[in-house]
Amino acid sequence: MENYIVSARKYRPSTFKSVVGQLSLTTTLKNAIASQKLAHAYLFCGPRGVGKTTCARIFAKTINCLSPNADGEACNACESCVAFNEQRSYNIHELDAASNNGVDDIKSLVEQVRIPPQIGKYKVFIIDEVHMLSQAAFNAFLKTLEEPPRHAIFILATTEKHKILPTILSRCQIYDFNRISVEDTVQHLSYVATTEGVNAETEALNVIALKADGGMRDALSIFDQVVSFTGGNITYNTVIENLNVLDYEYYFRLTNFLLENKVSDSLLLFNDVLNKGFDGSHFITGLASHFRDLLVSKDPATLSLLEVGASIKARYQEQSQKCAVPFLYRALKICNDCDMNYRASKNKRLLVELAIIQVAQCLVEDDDVSGGRRPKKILKPVFNTESAQLSQSSTQSATQVQTATSAANNNSVASDSVSAYNVTPKVAGGSAPEVKPQSSTNAEKKIPTMNKSSIGLSIKSAPKRDEVSTGAVNRSSVASAAPQEDYIFNEKDINFYWQAYAAQLSKEQDALMKRMQLIRPTLLNDGVSFEVVVDNEIVAKEFTSLISTFQNYMRTSLRNSKIKMVVRVNEAVESSRPISRVDKFKMMAEKNEALVQLKKVFDLEFY
């Protein structure tokens, strides 16, 4: 292996034709050369490893070729071409601005600019990562760029176009390099594999291409890695294992579980994924991508957006037939919300599990809809609007009856969903029973708990036929057109989740838990802010520092992005509460001066 050359170098393209995935760009360059319309400066922009420097080199070689072929490519045989191919041409100068970004580096480059070429017509100066040049270097360079000698051509390359000064941009012809598509990458990798005598499954190469994310250089170096640990026999499974990629297989299986509403199987599968060392965030973004891929598979027009190999593509198409579009929208939203809340979440595992359950729930509902009970779908938001109005009205008793009936209905229709929900707090901390708000009217409190599960989890199960007749359909149909945004909630919901949060706190946070359990947050008049009233500044400080955590938790749990938390010190308590006996005496003495006299006469003391 002493002459081992990495594939990225060995298979570096030497002609425009062999550049992978940048066809329109290389064609434009070739045409410019053929028609002798060369600019003095080019800016090549694009992500790393997509062929910017390679194209710059091919460009330099081609414009200097003494006998270019009819195709507009360099001949690779003339004196100039040979010098280029052997990397000894004086007509090409490369500066990597990432490591040489000082004025002196630019000055020595500029020195070279003045000397005309001996063979060929042009000297090409390639400045890689040009955005890294120092301010002084930039200024020194700008002068040369303004009035370059005829024989000089600059090719500036950057991965960060937005960092290039407008003064440079306006002097360059700009070429934007694309990420190389998975299909192109796979094709090139299989060409390399064949040439190297390596056995490779197309699906395996597909995984490598996805992992490389549009960069051919990365793709080839991953390929080299995989070749070395598989001994030249690249299979899908070895790649999945060695690159720490979460298998499609999991998502196909999970989606099947969800389609059959197998909540426990889904949770076990998630557990399996965690045991393999993947984190929840990785899993949920992967799940979102899977739903996205299923969505684009449903329509032949968008099928091209699916960047997978042929056999996997067929599986996507097959599975997508089982999923209704509204379900996929909702599932995507749920996954996306979960992903957004992931970092702030205290109990990340539970968050992902809830998302899985939620997805399973909206599937159940979808089946209902496709089962011919169309009105249900239209009615879904009615429940939300309805209960919002009801809960905000002061006539509590009426509310209770309404929610009680719908909760009961709920229970019978989606008993699975409720029981599934009830499982989860146990996962959290085994303290689900404590969640129950401590109140004398226990029965009354229980009702909103059910209600909540219908709002938060089995989102679509709520609306009932008897509510159709109330005539609120109009409002609802407007609401149902848009994907569900913020869900309504009331003070009881806030309190429920407040206590639920407290209950899942760890032993180390015992003090916080006890404090939380004594607090009853109140909903403010704006309908989205809840106020937490505390006894003193110290506690206020503690809760204030936790505001964003609580807010995120409430937003996720109640599925409303506008929820705000406010902390207030109860001044009445703070100022009026007598602290010591001395204080008590002073207060009393203020009201009755005789007390002071009494103390004096009898020479009394406090203890």
Output the smallest distance, CB 58 to Zn ion, in A: 12
Does 420 sit near Zn ion (CB under 5 A)? no
Output the smallest distance, CB 81 to Zn ion, in A: 3
User: CA–CA separation, 20 vs 18, rounded Å?
Assistant: 6
User: CA–CA separation, 130 vs 142, rounded Å?
Assistant: 12
Nearer to Zn ion, 77 or 511 (CB): 77
Output the smallest distance, CB 157 to Zn ion, in A: 23
User: CA–CA separation, 593 vs 583, rounded Å?
Assistant: 15
Q: What is the DSSP letter of 247?
A: P
User: CA–CA separation, 496 vs 436, rounded Å?
Assistant: 7
**Which residue stretch of 76-84, 280-288, 392-400, 522-530 sits at the interface with Zn ion (rule: CB under 5 A)?**
76-84
Cβ neighbours of 535 (radius 10 Å): 15
Residue 341, phi then psi, degrees to nearest 5? -90, -5
Output the smallest distance, CB 67 to Zn ion, in A: 6
Q: x/- binding map, residues 23-62, to Zn ion, per CB under 5 A?
A: ----------------------------------------
- Buried/exposed code over 24-35 (b: 16+ C-beta within 10 A; e: otherwise): ebbeebbebbee
Q: What is the DSSP letter of 488?
A: P
CB 532 within 8 A of CB 565: yes
Output the smallest distance, CB 128 to Zn ion, in A: 24
**Which residue stretch of 65-73, 180-188, 494-502, 569-577 sits at the interface with Zn ion (rule: CB under 5 A)?**
65-73
Among 81, 288, 331, 407, binds Zn ion (CB under 5 A): 81
Among 8, 60, 65, 312, binds Zn ion (CB under 5 A): 65
Output the smallest distance, CB 87 to Zn ion, in A: 15
77: tokens are: 């045989």
How many angstroms separate the Cα of 145 from the Cα of each of 92, 133, 295? 17, 14, 49
Does 78 sit near Zn ion (CB under 5 A)? yes
Nearer to Zn ion, 151 or 464 (CB): 151
250: tokens are: 């999991």
Question: For residue 565, what are the β-bridge partners?
Answer: 530
Does 121 sit near Zn ion (CB under 5 A)? no
Cβ neighbours of 262 (radius 10 Å): 15
- Buried/exposed code over 569-606 (b: 16+ C-beta within 10 A; e: otherwise): beeeeeeeeeeeeeeebeeeeeeeeeeeeeeeeeeeee
Nearer to Zn ion, 82 or 169 (CB): 82
Nearer to Zn ion, 75 or 103 (CB): 75
Output the smallest distance, CB 313 to Zn ion, in A: 42
Count of residues that interact with Zn ion, criterion CB under 5 A: 5
503: tokens are: 């209950």
Show the DSSP H helices in 323-458 as ranges. Answer: 325-342, 348-370, 374-392, 396-413, 415-429, 432-435, 442-456
Among 32, 38, 75, 512, binds Zn ion (CB under 5 A): 75
Nearer to Zn ion, 74 or 523 (CB): 74
Q: x/- binding map, residues 368-407, to Zn ion, per CB under 5 A?
A: ----------------------------------------
**Which residue stretch of 45-53, 68-76, 220-228, 493-501 sits at the interface with Zn ion (rule: CB under 5 A)?**
68-76
Strands 529-534 and 173-176, sheet pairing: unpaired
**Which residue stretch of 81-89, 143-151, 311-319, 332-340 sits at the interface with Zn ion (rule: CB under 5 A)?**
81-89
Longest dimension (CA), the chain: 122
User: CA–CA separation, 151 vs 210, rounded Å?
Assistant: 42
Q: x/- binding map, residues 301-340, to Zn ion, per CB under 5 A?
A: ----------------------------------------
**Which residue stretch of 4-12, 39-47, 77-85, 97-105 sits at the interface with Zn ion (rule: CB under 5 A)?**
77-85
Output the smallest distance, CB 10 to Zn ion, in A: 22
Output the smallest distance, CB 72 to Zn ion, in A: 12
Residues forming the site for Zn ion (CB under 5 A): 65, 74-75, 78, 81
